Amino acid sequence: MRRTWQGGYGPATNGRSRVITFDSVTKRYPDGTVAVDNLSLEAPTGQITVFVGPSGCGKTTSLRMINRMIDASDGQILLDGTAVQTIDPPTLRRGIGYVIQQAGLFPHRKIVDNVATVPFLLGWDKKKARDRAMELLEVVGLDPAMAQRYPFQLSGGQQQRVGVARALAADPPVLLMDEPFSAVDPIVRTSLQDELLKLQSELNKTIVFVTHDIDEAIKLGDRVAVLRVGGRLAQLADPKTLLSEPADEFVREFLGHDRGIRRLQFISAAGLRLRTDLTVAEDAFPADSDEPWLLIVTPDRRPVAWVTPRRPEEREPYGTFLHGKDNMRSALDAALLSPSGCAVAVDEDGKVVGVATREALDEALAEAADV
Amino acid sequence: MSDGPPTLWEWFARNWDTGRVGSISNLLSDHLVMSLVPIVAALVLSLPLGLACVRFRWLYQPTSGLMNILYALPSLPIFMLLISVTGLSQTTVIIPLTFYAMAVLIPSVVDGLGAVPDHVRQSAVAMGFTPVRRLVQVELPIATPVVLAGLRVVAVSSISLVSVGALIGQGGLGMLFTRAYQNPFLPPVIVGIVGIVLLALVADGLLVLAQRLLTPWVRARRAS
C-alpha cells in the first residue's frame, strides 16, 4: 500500500521536511549539572538521526530541547533556520510529531480520538480529523476495528503503533522519537523497527530518534550521534563509518565486540558469486557427483534440503537469503544455518536463484575486510 | 377508622402533604436542599482548591490539616457559632456540611490529578496542549473516577448528616426523630430512617450512573 504525503494537512505544517540544527547548545541545571555540553550537529532533512549513548549522556534532554519541553541554557536550536526559542511552544509542538516509550496514550479517549489529538488541537473539523486517524491506523498496520477501543485494551506493541500514528496525524515534517520501542519485547521491537524504516522510505520525515541500544541506532540511523556522559558528542557518522572507524576508545567500547560482524549488514550480498549447478531434483539424484553438497529442489525450484553424496538418505537443513535485497550478514547467517556451509539465494517468490558456496562467501568477506 | 394508633402507612399518608411546614413532603424537599447544596458547593470549591494544592505543593499540607480540623469539630458548637450570624436557617446547616464535604473532596481532587500518569501528561505537553486545555481535556477527565468516588462518599454522608440540623430546627427528615423523642410513637422514626436511606441510595445510584456515562473507559478496564 502506497500513499502520498504531499502537504495539505493543517495550517501549522505543509508536510515539507525540515533540517534541525544544534548550534553550540548547552543545558545546565541550577545545581550546576551539565546535561548537554556545547552540542553542535545537524539532523538533515528527510533522514533519521539517532542520538545514542549510555544513561546520563543527555540524549533525551537534547531531544526535548527541540520541541522546547526543555529550554536550552546556551546556544540555539534552529528549525529550517528559525530558532525554536522564538516560536510559541504549543504552536511549535503541534508541528512536531512526538513518540515516547510508554506511548503516552490518553486512557480516557478511544484509539481513533487518540490518533486525532493534534488535528483536534489544530481545529480540524471532527469528521476530517477522524477520517485522517482511520487512514493512519491502516498505515501503521492496525485493524480499523481497534479504532473504537480504549488504549488499555491494546498490547504494548499495538499501543506503540498508535503512538506512531498519533505523531503522524497532522503530517508534521519533523518526528521526535524517545526510546519508542524499548518497552516492547524483542520480536515486536524488530517488526516495529522494520515498519518504521518502511514508513520512512515513503514519508521522508526529518526524524530524531533517541535510544540506548547501539544495534537499534545502527539499524535505523542514517546518521548516528554517539554521546558520552556529560552530554558531549563523541562521534557523528553514518553507521558504516561508525563501525569501521570509531573515533575513540569510548565509541569503540560502546559499539561492543562484534562490530566487525555488524558491519557486514552494510555490504550488499548482491555481489556474491552464485553457482547454479548445485541443485538437483528429488528423484534425479546423481550417484557419482564430485560435489560435497547438493541442494534438492522441487519442480518449481523451491529448496527442500541439502544432501551429501556420502550419506544420500540424510536430509540436512538449509538457510536462505533474498537475492539482490539482503546484506552480507544475512547471507553469512544463512550459510551458518546449514551443515553444508552454503547459503541459498532465493527470489521474492522463494524460488532458488543460486547457491553461494564457502568459497564465494570467503571472497566477499575478504573484500569486505579490505574496505 | 379504628380507634387504636394509626399504622405506619396510615400515618405516612396522613402526614405526607398536610400543607403545613412539618409535612413529610416539605421535610423531604428541605432535606434535599440542605444536602445537595453542600455537595455542589463543596465540589465547586474543591476543584480550584485541589488544583491549587497540586500546582503549589506546599499548600496541600496546611489545607488538608485545616480541613481535617474542621471535619473533627462537632457540629453542635459550629451551629451555635453560626446561629449568631445566619440564625436558625438552613444556611446554618449548609455551611458546616459544605466544610465536611470539602474535607473529603479536596484530597480526592488532589489524588485524582496525581493519578494522571506522568507519560500521559508529558505526551499531552508534547502534542501541543496549552496548560488550560491540558487540564480540561486530559487531566480532569483522567481524575474523574477518583473524584466521583469521593463524591459518592460525600453524597451519602451529607444526606445522613442533615438530620443533625434537627438540633436547631432545620433537620429535614431528621425532624421526624425529634418528634419521636417527645412522644414514643414509632412511625415517624421509621419514615425518617427509610426516607434518608432511600435518598442516599438514589443519590449513590445516580452517581454510579454518572460514573458509567462519564468514564466508560474505567468500566471497560474492569471488564477486560
Domain ranges, ordered by start, for chain B: 21-223
Q: Which chain A residues touch B136 with a CB distance below 8 Å?
A: none
Q: How many domains does chain A have?
A: 2
- Average pLDDT score over residue span A307-325: 86
Confidence of residue A102 (pLDDT cuts 50, 70, 90): confident
Interchain CB contact of B191 with A (< 8 Å): no
Residues A228 and A323 occupy one common structural domain: no
Residues A195 and A330 occupy one common structural domain: no
Tell me the CA distances in angstroms from A116 to A23, A134, A148, A169, one per residue in order.
34, 9, 13, 6
What whole-number distance in Å separates Cα of residue B98 and Cα of residue B78? 12
Range of the domain at A354: 269-370
Q: Is residue A256 situated within a structural domain? A: yes
Mutation target vs A (from B116, B121, B123; most A CBs, 10 A cutoff): B123
Confidence of residue A15 (pLDDT cuts 50, 70, 90): very low
Cβ <8 Å between B217 and A150: yes
Residues A219 and A282 occupy one common structural domain: no
Question: Which H or E element spans position B142?
Answer: helix B140-161
CATH number, domain of A307, equals: 3.10.580.10
Q: Which residues pair with A34 in a beta bridge?
A: A28
Q: In a 10 Å sphere around its CB, with 0-12 CB exposed, 13-18 middle and 19+ buried, how is residue B212 labelled? A: exposed
Confidence of residue A355 (pLDDT cuts 50, 70, 90): very high
Its ipTM equals 0.79
Residues A279 and A257 occupy one common structural domain: no
What whole-number distance in Å separates Cα of residue A257 and Cα of residue A251? 11
Name the residue in chain B with its Cα closest to that of A172: B127
Cβ <8 Å between B123 and A69: no
B112's grid cell: 485524582
Residues A174 and A197 occupy one common structural domain: yes
**DSSP 8-state assignment for residue B5:** P
Is the pTM higher than 0.95? The answer reads no
What per-residue confidence (pLDDT) applies to B219? 64
Q: Which chain A residues touch B138 with a CB distance below 8 Å?
A: 106, 108
Q: Is residue A91 situated within a structural domain? A: yes
Name the residue in chain A with its Cα closest to that of B115: A107
Residues A214 and A285 occupy one common structural domain: no
Cβ <8 Å between A106 and B120: yes
What whole-number distance in Å separates Cα of residue A30 and Cα of residue A107? 35
CATH number, domain of A65, equals: 3.40.50.300
Residue A1 clears pLDDT 70, i.e. is over it: no
Residues A209 and A254 occupy one common structural domain: yes
Q: Is residue A127 situated within a structural domain? A: no
Interchain CB contact of B124 with A (< 8 Å): yes
Residue B115, min C-alpha distance to chain A (Å) = 12
A249, A266, A283 — which closes off a domain? Answer: A266
Cβ <8 Å between B127 and A98: yes
What whole-number distance in Å separates Cα of residue A85 and Cα of residue A20? 13
Lowest mean pLDDT among A140-149, A159-168, A322-331, B173-182: B173-182
The low-confidence residues of chain B, meaning pLDDT below 50, are 1, 224
What per-residue confidence (pLDDT) applies to A12? 39
Fold of B21-223: MetI-like fold (1.10.3720)
Residues A316 and A347 occupy one common structural domain: yes
Q: Is residue A121 situated within a structural domain? A: no
pLDDT 10s digits, A228-277? 998 999 999 999 899 889 999 999 999 887 778 888 888 888 888 999 88
Nearest CB to B120; choose among A104, A118, A150? A104
pLDDT 10s digits, A276-288? 888 888 877 776 7
Name the residue in chain A with its Cα closest to that of B144: A108
Residue B211, min C-alpha distance to chain A (Å) = 13
Average pLDDT value over all residues in chain A: 88
Cβ <8 Å between A98 and B141: no
Residues A223 and A280 occupy one common structural domain: no
- Amino acid identity at A200: Q
Q: Is residue A133 situated within a structural domain? A: no
Residues A325 and A294 occupy one common structural domain: yes
Residue B122, min C-alpha distance to chain A (Å) = 8
What whole-number distance in Å separates Cα of residue A222 and Cα of residue A316? 39
Nearest CB to B123; choose among A104, A121, A152? A104
Confidence of residue A124 (pLDDT cuts 50, 70, 90): very high
Residue A211 clears pLDDT 70, i.e. is over it: yes
